[in-house]
Amino acid sequence: MQATATILNAIRDGDAAAVRAAVEKDPSIASAHDEKGLSVVMQAAHHRQSEILSVLLAAGPALDLFEAAALGKRGLVADLVDENPAAVAALSPDGFSPLHLACFFGHSLCAELLIQRAADVNAVAANPMAVAPLHSAAAGRHLDIVKLLLEKGADANAQQHGGWTALHSAARNGDGPLVDALVEAGADSAIKSSDGKTAADMAEQKGHSELAERLA
């Protein structure tokens, strides 16, 4: 337990040397999970610690479907779904489906495969964020995946926690191409977040005046 706590702290601190030392001492630590069941591999992915992730993966931990989707390992995703087709609807310990993870981390081939295998493009994460895969893709600014989801029936006006739509996120980021794709698919610029802001308001707030004018 102490070793797991140590490596989790090292991941959060971005201390690759400490992670490397821990893995060299005990390679099985690369397969450890926190008290909620989230693996150290997923922790490294969520914290965008690429060097640490490489150290962990080099130890050869057996990856589950959530990890495979988050890391873009399409072949492994296919194998795992073939073994258990119902797994496409499963939720990770922190409440995300494999499709959410593939979308957030920008792995379009994995996202496409999961959709082909009946993953729900409108699935809502079982956590306070309450995001759909479209929100995940928009947050990651992955235009190709946003277009794929919309083409496959994702609700362009789905609202996550705080009343945000994907259009709010795209506008706040000043992402014109993403805004255009969403509006073309029927995203409603008049929808307000829980605190009363439209997508135009969010664009203006972040200094994207030209985009705000387009959305107003």
At 39 the three-state DSSP class reads strand
pLDDT, one tens digit per residue, over 168-212 is 999 999 999 999 999 999 999 999 999 999 999 999 999 999 999
pTM of the model: 0.95
Mean pLDDT, residues 47-54 taken together: 97
Mean pLDDT of the chain: 97
User: pLDDT confidence of 21, banded at 50, 70, 90?
Assistant: very high
pLDDT, residue 2, reads 82
Interatomic CA distance for residues 166 and 171, integer angstroms: 9
Mean pLDDT, residues 43-64 taken together: 97
Mean pLDDT, residues 143-156 taken together: 98
User: pLDDT confidence of 1, banded at 50, 70, 90?
Assistant: low
Interatomic CA distance for residues 167 and 65, integer angstroms: 29
CA distances from 25 to 21, 66, 148, 174 (A): 6, 27, 44, 46
Q: Domain residues of the chain, as ranges?
A: 2-58
Provide the CB-side half-sphere exposure for 22 (13 A, CA).
25
pLDDT, residue 3, reads 83
Is residue 44 scored above 90 in pLDDT? yes
